[in-house]
Amino acid sequence: MNLKIGIIKGDGIGPEIVTEAQKVLNKIAETYGHTCEYTELLLGGASIDVHGVPLTDETVAAAKQCDAVLMGSIGGDAKTSPWYQLEPSKRPEAGLLRIRKELNLFANLRPAVLYDELKGACPLKESITEGGFDMMIMRELTGGLYFGERKTVEVDGVLTAFDSLTYNEEEIRRIAKRAFDIAMKRRKKVTSVDKANVLDSSRLWRKVVEEVAEEYPEVTLEHMLVDNCAMQLVKDPKQFDVILTENMFGDILSDEASMVTGSIGMLASASLNETKFGLYEPSGGSAPDIAGKGIANPIATILSAAMMLRFSFDLDQEADAIEKAVEKVLKEGYRTIDIMSEGKTQIGTAGMGDLIASFIRR
Ligand code: IPM
Ligand code: MG
């Protein structure tokens, strides 16, 4: 099979971690008889440096020609990078928001898994994490506060900023369906997170989610207020299977969920639309402080490539092979610095990519 993959290396550690994921993909292609046809796409700071804007129309068109896009990370240090001297709509993050919208990537899947081998890195007490946890955050990605009307104006001589949070029932229905579909393949529980005690958008969210739930009698649905959810994630993370939530809540809760695993450098993510197309990226950021040092953990990006093979190309065996290779590297005691612990062998970004590629088996 010819895999047409868009590659967004991006900023910070992005180029380093994507290079390792490509190494692993190339090994998969060689082992299973596929070809990878890569198209490099510029996004974020890397695009600003060349084109003056974080995303061009040409890049959007080129991305649409691909079957899937694998991305590193975008953005720089807001204090020191010249990108942040630009007006907000020209900064790196604006490019990411625009590509999500242009490609209609409304479903953002963010798994948070406690790896057995890495339990030591989890900041929660053992009594809380015993037995591990494995949740999937389904974050709505193209609506809500991120894409609502916004402005800053003077009202009676006082500077006043407005952001609006809008959801229509169709936007809620399509993401809720995705969450229930995923739950059917997992432990059949959906926790829908909202702020229905305050927000109208949340009350509509709840109503539509309940309607969708009727089509999935096997799935248990519970509603949880977002403040309580933030607390429950550290109090009892085991209770969660699929967390379904709107854009802004999902942004915040997914950082929290990944932190409690203790290994954000391990977590992949996928942003999907109605078709097989998806954009796959590690959950962590561009980490400008360690960029270029060869120490970043490429595993989240490598696992994002596995998610891509599974969701966009239906190549389950190949995806399994990557996940097994990652397990093997951890079992054998190899660690990048972020997940290092006593008695293990510390290696760098390229060393990790080489080892995982070498462990790929048919
Ligand atoms: C994320 C990031 C982005 C978001 C930023 C970079 C705009 O935090 O993917 O979670 O808020 O969606
Ligand atoms: Mg975020």
Q: Quick: pLDDT tens for 63-89.
A: 999 999 999 999 999 999 999 999 999
**146 has catalytic annotation:** yes
For 181-195, the three-class secondary structure string (H helix, E strand, C coil) is HHHHCCCCEEEEEEC
Residue 330: per-residue pLDDT = 95
Angle value at C-alpha 188, between 208 and 221, nearest 5 degrees? 35
Query: Domains in the chain and their CATH numbers?
Result: 1-115+264-362 (3.40.718.10), 123-260 (3.40.718.10)
Structure confidence by residue, pLDDT tens digits, 108-131? 999 999 988 898 889 999 999 998
Structure confidence by residue, pLDDT tens digits, 333-344? 999 999 999 999
Question: 297 CA to middle of ligand 1, Å?
Answer: 19
Instruction: Identify whether the C-beta of residue 324 lies closer than 8 Å to the C-beta of residue 24.
Output: no
pLDDT, average across residues 249-253: 97
Residue 75 CA: nearest ligand 1 atom is: 6
**151 has catalytic annotation:** no
Exactly one of 163, 227, 314, 320 is catalytic; name it: 227
What residues contact residue 63 under an 8 Å CB cut-off, 6+ apart?
Answer: 6, 41, 69, 99, 102, 103
Question: 103 CA to middle of ligand 1, Å?
Answer: 16
Q: How far is Cα of residue 152 from the mean position of the Cα atoms in its chain?
A: 30
If you take atom 11 of ligand 1, which residue's CA is the nearest one?
251
Residue with the two structure tokens 């800053």: 152
Residue 269 is assigned to a ligand binding site: no
Residues with CB under 6 A from ligand 1: 75, 93, 96, 251
| pTM exceeds 0.75, yes or no | yes
Instruction: Identify whether the C-beta of residue 1 lies closer than 8 Å to the C-beta of residue 64.
Output: no
Instruction: Identify whether the C-beta of residue 357 lies closer than 8 Å to the C-beta of residue 329.
Output: no
Angle value at C-alpha 250, between 295 and 175, nearest 5 degrees? 120
